[in-house]
Amino acid sequence: MELTRRNYAALTLATLIAAPARAGAATPGLMVRSDGQPQNLDPHQIFDVPMMGYALNTYDGLYRYQNNPPVLEPWLATGHASSEDGLDWEFKLRPGVTFHDGSPLTAADVVYSFQRVLALNKAPASAFLPILKPGNVTAPDPLTVRFRLDRPYGPFLAAIPIVAIVNAKLVQANEKGGDHGAAWLASNEAGSGAYSFVPGTLTPNERLGMQRFEGHFWGWSDNPSPVARVAMRTARETSTGVLGLMNGSIDWTDSYLPTDQVEQIQSSRVARVERHSSLRTFVIRMNNARAPFNNLNFRKAMAHAFNYDGFIKEILKGYADRNAGPMPNPLWGVPKDAAGYDYDLGKARNFLRAAQADGVNIRQPIRIHIQSQLEQTNQAAQLFQSDLQSIGVNLRIVTDTWANIVTSTGSAETSPDMWIHWVSTYFVDPENWVGQMYDSQFHGTWKASSWYKNPEVDALLGRARGLVKQAERAPLYEEATRRVMADCADIWVYNTVELRGVSNRLSGYRFCPAGGGSELRWLQLKG
């Protein structure tokens, strides 16, 4: 049969319109995620929230955090023992674990993984560099790994889940010019996790495919209908992700849903919002090394001028928990007796007067840097601006980016007057918050960008770091936190309630603050 041009056009049109069902129809067995992917796929180069979303599924660690509040549970390891002085650690491995290529996972792979993290010296290394030399990780037998630390380090066990165990032989085979296989692993995968990366499906930052690993050591008997395939399709605008959730083309968004979209999703029949208290604090930083923030009364005036309840209730629609200190409330090491600062413009005025009496020029304009892509930082700054105006403080809002701000926090001179950010859970230990934020040895990193310096606090944190037992460390962190709060080093606002849009096709969602609930193996998928 010969097709005329007109027929052909009509045929094309018909194909388009009579499309396979509705636009957003789901594919059986396939789950589509719209949360972001890591900048590259090497878990030893990158360590951030998107990497957790990838690596918790494709790789395994010796231990893994589970539940909320998080509990450290044996994973590849069956258990561990440490010496009395906290210097020697021994981990026993689970037998019979295999990587995705079928080769066995042994102690040699664990040793290689830790040594590789140290050698690459990227983000995941920072917890181990000061206390661990590459040669001090050893494998006396295929199922035993030993660590000898340079000095006792309390957070060591808490940091163990950071290191993903990679297939040593596979990575070594792809080394190029002494790069430890960094170029290769950036777009490939060498893990043993519950899901494996599907080669050829990667467009960095756009799309990535994973499929279930039948031979995962945990087994699948606890999950009658696991997700078979995972398509990661980054949604740059959260609103697009939400729309996709509502029309069925996306099953899972990131966990930072804007609160105004929560009701919209909740009222739909196809999806719901998973709400979980996390360990992620929202902080307004003050540069304690610079006037007027080098004055305690001025800092207190600022802390009393932020409308915490208004921000949480009105802007965040209540989806956050007031957190008056630097440590997330559910964590150990939080001083239960420390009240923190409340919103009271009367008190703020009094402290401002006191600051003025100290010789502080309260009229000088101060600048707060917000992160252009994170609307909440802007909302907080604007709320703050209007209250400060009413007590005569001139706050200017500067739109900035993460990369810029972090660069500027390299020195006290270039650090912003104020800026806003979150502190996520990288490892579940007070060290992740009060330790790295207020010990002056970390000056020059973004986490310590308030340039707070108190020798007593330094000493307390140093001692706590050198102890292993939680019962001994806790009072030290509590005391350090109390003092930091008394010094009003920053303005601590809330602890996050993570909000993730999840399709009703998925059940069995498990949330753990470390990793933000992105471990997919527990999920059950219908249809």
For another protein, the binding residue among 196, 436, 454, 481 (CB under 8 A) is: 436
Sorted by sequence, the CB contacts under 8 Å of residue 185 that are 6+ apart come out as 41, 42, 44, 45, 166, 171, 174
3-state secondary structure 199-234: CCCCECCCEEEEEECCCCCCCCCCCCCECCEEEEEC
Q: How far apart are CA 526 and CA 480, in angstroms?
A: 49
In a 13 Å sphere around the CA of 237, the CA atoms on its Cβ side amount to: 4
| Near another protein in 295-334, by CB under 8 A | none
CA distance 324 to 339: 7
**What is the amino acid identity at position 302?**
M
- Phi, psi (5° rounding) for residue 179? -95, 10
Residue 406 CB, shortest distance to another protein, in Å, is 5
Shortest CB 202 distance to another protein, Å: 9
Max CA distance (Å), the chain: 95
Complex with another protein: residue 390 or 407, whichever CB lies closer: 407
Q: Where are the beta strands (DSSP E) in 34-189?
A: 63-66, 71-74, 77-82, 88-93, 137-141, 144-148
Contact between 158 and another protein by CB under 8 A: the answer reads no
The least CB distance from residue 34 to another protein, in Å, is 8
Shortest Å, Cβ 174 to another protein: 13
- Quick one: the chain helix, strand, coil %, rounded to 5? 35, 20, 45
Does residue 187 interact with another protein by CB under 8 A?
yes
Question: What is the per-residue DSSP string for 78-112?
Answer: EEEEE-TTS-EEEEEEPTT-B-TTSPBP-HHHHHH
Identified binder of another protein from the candidate list 95, 219, 310, 444, rule CB under 8 A: 444
Q: Is 440 in the site for another protein (CB under 8 A)?
A: no
Give 10 or 486: the residue with its C-beta nearer to another protein.
10
Site for another protein contains 204 (CB under 8 A): yes
User: Smallest distance from the beta carbon of 344 to another protein, in angstroms?
Assistant: 34
Residue 152 in the binding site for another protein (CB under 8 A): no
Please tell me the distance from the alpha carbon of residue 50 to that of residue 232, in angstroms, as a whole number.
11
**305/294 Cα distance (integer angstroms):** 17
Site for another protein in 463-492 (CB under 8 A): none
Out of 7, 78, 203, 394, the residue judged to bind another protein by CB under 8 A: 203
CA–CA distances in Å: residue 371 to residues 255, 401, 497: 18, 5, 20
Does residue 163 belong to the site contacting another protein (CB under 8 A)?
no
Nearest to 521 by CA among 58, 96, 185, 21: 58
**Could you give the string, one character per residue 43-82, with x where binding to another protein holds by CB under 8 A and - elsewhere?**
--xxxx----------------------------------
Tell which one of 67, 83, 239, 386 touches another protein (CB under 8 A). 239
Shortest Å distance, C-beta 211 to another protein: 12
122 in contact with another protein (CB under 8 A): yes
In the complex with another protein, the residue whose CB is nearer, 147 or 426, is 426
Shortest spacing between CB 121 and another protein, in angstroms: 5
Using the rule CB under 8 A, which residue among 404, 470, 504, 524 binds another protein?
Answer: 404
Number of residues that bind another protein (CB under 8 A): 67
**Toward another protein, which CB reaches closer, 118 or 145?**
118
Give me the 13-32 binding string for another protein, x by CB under 8 A, dash otherwise: --xxx-xx-xxx--x--x-x
Q: Which stretch binds another protein (CB under 8 A): 68-76, 229-237, 462-470, 474-482?
A: 229-237
Alpha-carbon distance values, 308 to 44, 48, 175, 383 (Å): 38, 28, 52, 10
According to the binding rule CB under 8 A, does residue 401 interact with another protein? yes
Residue (of 497, 514, 480) closest to 325 by Cα position = 480
Torsion of CA 320, 321, 326, 331, to 10 degrees: -110
What are φ and ψ of residue 160, in 5° steps? -55, -40
Residue selected from 103, 172, 201, 356 as contacting another protein according to rule CB under 8 A: 201
Regarding 243 and contact with another protein (CB under 8 A), the answer is yes
Contact range with another protein by CB under 8 A, out of 37-45, 58-66, 253-261, 462-470: 37-45
3-state secondary structure of 490: coil
Segment interacting with another protein, rule: CB under 8 A, options 35-43, 88-96, 317-325, 388-396: 35-43
The number of beta carbons lying within 10 Å of the beta carbon of residue 367 is 15
β-sheet bridge partners, residue 190: none
In the complex, least distance from residue 52 CB atom to another protein, rounded to whole angstroms: 11
List contacts with another protein (CB under 8 A): 15-17, 19-20, 22-24, 27, 30, 32, 39-40, 42, 45-48, 121-127, 129, 182-183, 186-187, 200-201, 203-207, 231, 233-237, 239-240, 243-244, 246-247, 249, 373, 401-404, 406-408, 410, 424, 426, 436, 442, 444-447
